[in-house]
Amino acid sequence: DGGITQSPKYLFRKEGQNVTLSCEQNLNHDAMYWYRQDPGQGLRLIYYSQIVNDFQKGDIAEGYSVSREKKESFPLTVTSAQKNPTAFYLCASSAEGAGRQPQHFGDGTRLSIL
Amino acid sequence: EDKVVQSPLSLVVHEGDTVTLNCSYEVTNFRSLLWYKQEKKAPTFLFMLTSSGIEKKSGRLSSILDKKELFSILNITATQTGDSAVYLCAVGQYYGGSQGNLIFGKGTKLSVKP
């Protein structure tokens, strides 16, 4: 089955620690995205990538980093510089840039601070 | 500043009721408007609208876009408890600050009571 797989489902971060959230898709989509969702809030864009080896900052990129070495993979690192990392993180992909084709989402990773 | 506003933020109805969810937007370089349903985890795609006045339907759900008045509605008829979810509205741009990515509203939380 084609889809987007995010792992882990739950993640705990200690003070000063970097953690990496995995996102893999087998939909052969060019574009991939990372969003953060806080309670009662909509989705806010962290980073996006339209093609391999290229990515752009979204609205709230500070304290996060990404890489796009393979078409199917777009991992997100939450660094120690992100002071309020507790949130629900969603990865998405689309065949073309958002707005032309719908984005499809993974099941998310819930990150908490220990 | 580009923005997408959904109303109401929450809604409680009884099974069998018909509901209308609203989404208004002020977005430069509008390309499309999308509706998603989010239960516990991944938002699932419902509709993508690009043209005014053309209703899209899927079972008991339907949606329409008014590009002159800058809003869309999502209708759900004969609601069921399985319709309980957060409904997200998002707008895609041709280009702009987010380079053609989606701008999300905060969502409408719908609760359907038996």
Q: Does B104 sit within 8 Å of A102, measured CB to CB?
A: no
Res A13: pLDDT: 87
Contacts of A36 (CB under 8 A, 6+ apart): A43, A44, A46, A60, A87, A88, A89, A90
Res A55: pLDDT: 92
Question: Measured between beta carbons, which residues in chain B are less than 8 angstroms from residue A4?
Answer: 42
Contacts of B15 (CB under 8 A, 6+ apart): B79, B80, B81, B112, B113, B114
> pLDDT tens for residues B50-106?
999 999 999 999 999 999 999 999 999 999 999 999 999 999 887 644 455 789 999
Minimum-distance CB partner of B41 among A45, A102, A107:
A107
Nearest to B6 by CA among B101, B99, B90: B90
3-state secondary structure of B81: helix
- Taking CA atoms, A48 is separated from A102, B24, B87, in Å, by 15, 25, 23
Question: Measured between beta carbons, which residues in chain A are less than 8 angstroms from residue B85?
Answer: none
* Unique residue bearing structure tokens 């209703």: B55
Q: Is A48 on the interface with B (CB under 8 A)?
A: yes
The per-residue pLDDT of chain B, averaged, comes to 92
Identify whether the C-beta of residue A23 lies closer than 8 Å to the C-beta of residue A76: yes
Residue B16 has pLDDT above 60, yes or no: yes
> pLDDT tens for residues A81-114?
888 999 999 999 988 765 677 889 999 999 998 8
The per-residue pLDDT of chain A, averaged, comes to 91
Q: Does B4 sit within 8 Å of A43, measured CB to CB?
A: no
Confidence of residue B109 (pLDDT cuts 50, 70, 90): very high
How many whole angstroms separate alpha carbon B101 and alpha carbon A85? 23
> pLDDT tens for residues A4-14?
999 999 999 88
Q: Is A95 on the interface with B (CB under 8 A)?
A: no
